């Protein structure tokens, strides 16, 4: 248990009875604009919320727009994205790339969020940018502690061209840095193999959820990645495009929820989505 009762209570709300969490992320707009699947953010969030995820991840201003989806005993919890970067924007391309905090933990408290989420980006061309990112996260971690707010850090290795790096050594470095700077939970890229991902999990004291990244080529690829990560100790998933870029976001949300909470197996999940 966490010594901070506020954090303990919020984390307990996020995680289901089997200690896994299924989160759907809708914070891509501030990074990439109105991409396919989230042009109409109110409709997109509503469809997913009906499928019963444990939480939905949005920026505080969008949380206000879609607030009705967080009301009620059985509604999803809110996770607030409080920072941003332009590293993944395709047009106009970033000149050097930035990271910045945008909102405060207090903003998230006002919205009754169950957690805040931030990036830790490792591999900037300019070391000062990485130092600024770390210093910002340290301040956020202290503020989150004061408010009893869980801090989810999304540690990512980046390379020239600003693509996420899935090299296990770089992921391991970023994960340990995020742990040391004060994360309560982590949102991490799956390495592609069980043994190397188990090593990642062993390198942190924080529960780890895997991030979805770009939409996978097939549903089987996506469910297999989730299955493999859960097998070695991941505590859930944070998916976006694999959910709201699907033909039926409500249905696929329902199936992923059952799968993450181990109510159905891989073949059964795929059969339900045929």
Q: What are phi and psi for residue 152, nearest 5 degrees?
A: -95, 125
Give burial (CB, 10 Å; 0-12/13-18/19+) of 216: middle
Cα separation, 187 vs 262, in Å, equals 20
Task: Give residues with Cβ within 8 angstroms of 264, minimum separation 6.
Answer: 255, 258, 272
Token representation of residue 64: 């206000």
- Select which of 7, 47, 187, 235 is catalytic: 187
Cα separation, 200 vs 203, in Å, equals 5
Tokens 């396919």 identify what position? 36
Q: Is 187 a catalytic residue?
A: yes
Containing H/E element for 113? none
Token representation of residue 157: 């290795």
Nearest CA-CA partner of 174 in 211, 144, 215? 211
Output b/e per residue, 161-197; b: 16+ Cβ within 10 A. ebebbeebebbbbbbebbbebbbbbbbbbbbeeeebb
Catalytic residues: 187
């Amino acid at each position: 248990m966490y010594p901070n009762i506020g954090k303990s209570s919020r984390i307990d709300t996020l995680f289901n009875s089997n200690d896994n969490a299924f989160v759907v992320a809708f914070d891509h707009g501030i990074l990439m604009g109105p991409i396919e699947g989230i042009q109409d953010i109110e409709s997109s969030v509503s469809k997913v919320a009906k499928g019963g995820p444990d939480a939905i991840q949005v920026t505080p201003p969008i949380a206000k727009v879609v607030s009705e989806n967080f009301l009620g005993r059985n509604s999803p919890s809110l996770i607030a994205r409080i920072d941003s970067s332009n590293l993944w924007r395709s047009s106009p391309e970033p000149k050097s790339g930035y990271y910045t905090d945008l909102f405060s933990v207090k903003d998230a408290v006002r919205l009754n969020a169950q957690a805040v989420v931030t990036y830790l980006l490792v591999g900037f061309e300019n070391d000062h940018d990485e130092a600024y990112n770390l210093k910002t996260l340290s301040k956020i971690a202290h503020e989150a502690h004061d408010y009893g707010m869980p801090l989810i850090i999304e540690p990512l290795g980046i390379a020239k061209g600003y693509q996420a790096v899935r090299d296990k050594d770089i992921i391991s470095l970023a994960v340990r840095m995020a742990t040391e700077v004060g994360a309560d939970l982590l949102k991490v890229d799956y390495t592609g193999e069980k043994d190397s991902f188990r090593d990642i999990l062993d390198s942190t004291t924080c529960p780890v959820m895997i991030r979805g990244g770009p939409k996978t080529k097939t549903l089987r690829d996506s469910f297999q990645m989730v299955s493999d990560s859960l097998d070695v100790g991941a505590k859930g998933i944070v998916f976006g495009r694999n959910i709201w870029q699907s033909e039926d976001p409500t249905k696929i949300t329902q199936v992923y929820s059952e799968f993450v909470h181990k109510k159905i197996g891989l073949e059964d999940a795929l059969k339900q989505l045929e």
